Each structure stands twice: as C-alpha cells, then as structure tokens.
Amino acid sequence: MLVQGEQGSSAVTSRAPAEVLSASARTGHSIRALIAAWLGSFTDSADTRAAYGRDLRDYIEWCTRRQLDPLEVRLPEVQMYAAELAAATNPRTGRPYAASTRARKLAAVSSWYTFLVRAGAIDANPARDAARPRYDRQHSNTASVSVQQAGQMLAASSQYQHRSLGPQGAALVMMLLIDLGIRVSELCNANLADLGQRDGMRMLTVRMKGGKVRTRPIPQPLVPVLDAYLAVRPQDGDPEALVVTRDGKRINRHQVYRLVQVVAARAGVPMPKRITPHSMRHAFNTIAREAGAPLEDRRDALGHSSAAITQLYDHVALSLSRDPAHLVAAATVAQRPPEGHDRPVSSPDEESSR
C-alpha cells in the first residue's frame, strides 16, 4: 500500500497492515511514525492514549481490508466506516457498539487526520464533516450494584479460589475497586512503592487520568485484606507491581474484568455479564452519596475533572430510586381490594346512568 510512483501518486495494493504502517507519507515519515507522534501528544492520560491507539488500529485495518489508502480517503469513505461501525458487533460484549463508543472511534480518526494536516502530511481532514452518532450525554448504560450486592460480592471474592490470584488477591482487587472506587487501569498500574503511611493511616498513591495523582487512604477494614495478600504475594515475580498473579505477572484489565463478572455471578447479582469494573466506580459513588459524602469529596476521590461528571453518576442512581413510578405503584396497590373481595365491574349502561 502507499507505493510512491514517479509522479508522486500512490497506488493501493492488497497488503498487510504492517506494510501500510511502514509506508511513507509525503513528508517522508512513515504512517507508524505519524501515529506514534499523534499518540504522544496525549501526555496527560494513558487511558485516552491506549483507547485512541486501539481505535486507530481498527480504522487502519478497515482501510487495509478495503484496499484504501488512509492518507487519500475522502469523506464518503469515512462515512462508510461510520456506517459499518453502526452495523458491527463489539467482539468483547457480543452486542452492537454503543453510540458513545462509535462517536469516540470517529473522534479518534478525526483527531489523527487533524494532526496529519498540521504535520503537512495531508491537505484536509476527511473526517471533519463526518456525521457523528447522537447520544444523551446525561445517560449512562453502566450497570451498578446496591450496597447489599457490593457486600455480597466482597464476601464472595474472599472465598473464591481464583486460579491466577487466589482468594487473597481476588479479595484485594474487589475491595480496591469497590471501597476506593479506583479505575481498572489505576489498579493494574499500581506499584508496591505506591503503598505508604501518613497520619497514622495506610495509604495508596493512585495515578489517575489526566496526570492527576491522589493519595487515597486504605480503610481499616481493607488493611487485613491487604496484609493477607502481601503475605502470600510471589516474591520472585514483577518487583514493582502491587497486584500480581501467582506466576508473578502484573495483573491485566482483562483478568480484572473477568473476575468482577465471576464474583457478581457467585454473589447472585442479576445479569452478572453486565457488571464491569466501571460498575464498581458507580457503586462507590452511590454508596458514598447515600452515606452522606459531599459531592466535592466524591469528585476528588473519583478523580473526575468536574463535578458534572460525578453528578452523572448520581443521576444514574437517582433516576431509578426516585422515579415517580414507585409512588404511583404504592398508591395503586393501596387502592386494590383485598384478595377474594373483588369489587363488581359496572356495565357501560350503568356507568352512563350515573
């Protein structure tokens, strides 16, 4: 792909993505180098950098399958990619991509093209005017759990003989997710050196999105769980990682994702496959709010850039618990006659004579 001819034009042939990435743009830089430079601009968030990297990889592979030069596509091709995303199934969940996910993928493509324009590799961004999926930014599809279900999941994790983590590691992971509300990436990236002590309390330094660093306390109920894990943690494994598997490798997000679903099922949580590590952050916020934690404290603990994001979590919980349907159902139940004492139903003629 992208074979430069004598006239400076490029011809597309059926080649592997690796060959596409090695091809040169008119600036002399390879596509791989241009992608790396673009991703390098997201210095404040490793999560955003990783997500955009995956999104652009999918787009490059899509171009390759259709023998399209990613540096020469125009708006119709980008819109075709958007249409195929709308009809595609997320291989991880088996369900169609959420509108927010499709919008992020198109935003990644457009961001890369904007960078290429600035770098002089292309003249215009073909994704700039592509139609983006519309979705309600005040709505979240993330499933959550109640405080009772969270407690049941913690109890189930401490008894779960996890093949890679053992009960001590599984219990620690679940307590960090639920009781601290940390992101799965923050959990996987946590190091032994991040543990410490201050003001008579154990603490964990958490590296959050956007380059934020927060010192979070290890709540007293979590201390025995942490110590039990550290006592059995493999000493010959990764010398830096806080949570490692029994073979000494740093835990990864896929293992955490699977652990959460298995523990949810063992705890009897309905539809456990809908429960994710992010569900635990929603649970943390809901439980903290119901216990009286102020919005600003919850925002700071969750590492949100604004209180509006934390309030979105609140909206998800309150929209169900405060829906007027509960009041209407209670009122109609109160008006129902006792069983065996059904009131006779009047005929239309009787009603009209009243």
Q: Which residues are known catalytic residues?
A: 183, 209, 278, 281, 304, 313
Tokens representing 332 are: 């109609």
Yes or no: say if 225 and 136 are a contact pair by the CB < 8 Å rule.
no
Burial of 15 (0-12, 13-18, 19+ CB in 10 A): middle
Q: What is the rounded distance in angstroms from the CA atom of residue 174 to the CA atom of residue 243?
A: 12
The residue assigned the tokens 């008119």 is: 26
Q: Residue 24 pairs with which residues in a beta bridge?
A: 30
Q: For residue 302, give Cα distances in angstroms to 101, 145, 166, 280, 305.
A: 22, 17, 28, 11, 9
Q: What is the rounded distance in angstroms from the CA atom of residue 86 to the CA atom of residue 99?
A: 8
Burial of 323 (0-12, 13-18, 19+ CB in 10 A): exposed
At residue 140, the 3 state secondary structure works out as coil
Burial of 177 (0-12, 13-18, 19+ CB in 10 A): buried
Q: What is the rounded distance in angstroms from the CA atom of residue 69 to the CA atom of residue 238?
A: 42
Strands 201-207 and 213-217: antiparallel
Closest to 310 (Cα-Cα) out of 292, 293, 298: 298
Tokens representing 311 are: 């309030």
The residue assigned the tokens 């000494």 is: 248
Q: What is the rounded distance in angstroms from the CA atom of residue 32 to the CA atom of residue 25?
A: 10
The residue assigned the tokens 């523990």 is: 263
For the chain, the farthest-separated pair of C-alpha atoms sits apart, in whole angstroms, at: 95
